[in-house]
Structure 1
Amino acid sequence: MSPDWFSTPASHDVWAIGTDITASRALAQFERTHPNNPKAVKQYTVKHPLTLYLYHANSQGQWTRYLLPKSVSASNEPLGLVFTSRQFGYFWTSTTLYVTHNGGKNWTSLATGQSNPLYGVSFISPFTAWITFADGSRLLTTIK
């Protein structure tokens, strides 16, 4: 696992988004076998973007891996991850905010009503957040 984003709420559980080590090694091997052909590497990488997963470690240190929505991959990577409790979590890409109500087992995309790319999300309570967009505009929203 190569975690890109971590979240550790007060429960001391740990959530991380990352790739599967086997898939990462396969891509690295392909890139090593085609060092003089960047076009082949680019086409392979775009055609086969690395799948990202949500990894969860509970307070006893047991790890579980969950699938993220199919639209999320290394080519549309998460920009942030926040769990406000063991059940409620959020992550976002530049285009979409996602929410889970069951600890990462299922995800729902949320519309922001903006055409600007998402830049960041700052939670001020478990369900209320400031969403910042790439153009600097902000939106206070309640997420459920």
Structure 2
Amino acid sequence: MTQVTVRIYKQGNKMWRDFKAELIKRYENSAILDISESEAFSKIEKQEFNNLIVVSKKAIVEKRAVSGIDDSDILKTSVNNGLKKISKKRKEARAKYARRISEAASQCDTLTDVAKRIGKSTTFVKRVADEFKIKLPRRNNGHEEIVSR
């Protein structure tokens, strides 16, 4: 099925660290692993455990495998497509605000007046103006803006 890496497994007074095993079944807080191909266990230990061990999910390094997500490629593409749709909508919204900001900037004397007229914060107005290269008033709330910021 899926190969996972176990950080630590303790049985009695023996301890095994950082070994690979095949994931057979997932439970709520643990998982059954097949250790028949694992090199960390001796032949006798594999026979004692019947080639199976139950490990806590906290001890497994690959969290995706034990949380029930086997096809990580499918997940990545669906998440990326969703993010592209969201960013496209946001860009369209910023373009709509850019038109309003350019109109307000030509009519207002201060940056805060522009922000009030549009109904957004001054930081949002600055960000959209930078993105769409809109010239804003140099005065901020009646005071000359410091150029170094």
> What's the TM-score, normalizing by structure 1?
0.23
Q: TM-score, normalised by structure 2?
A: 0.23
Report the structure number with the largest CA radius of gyration: 2
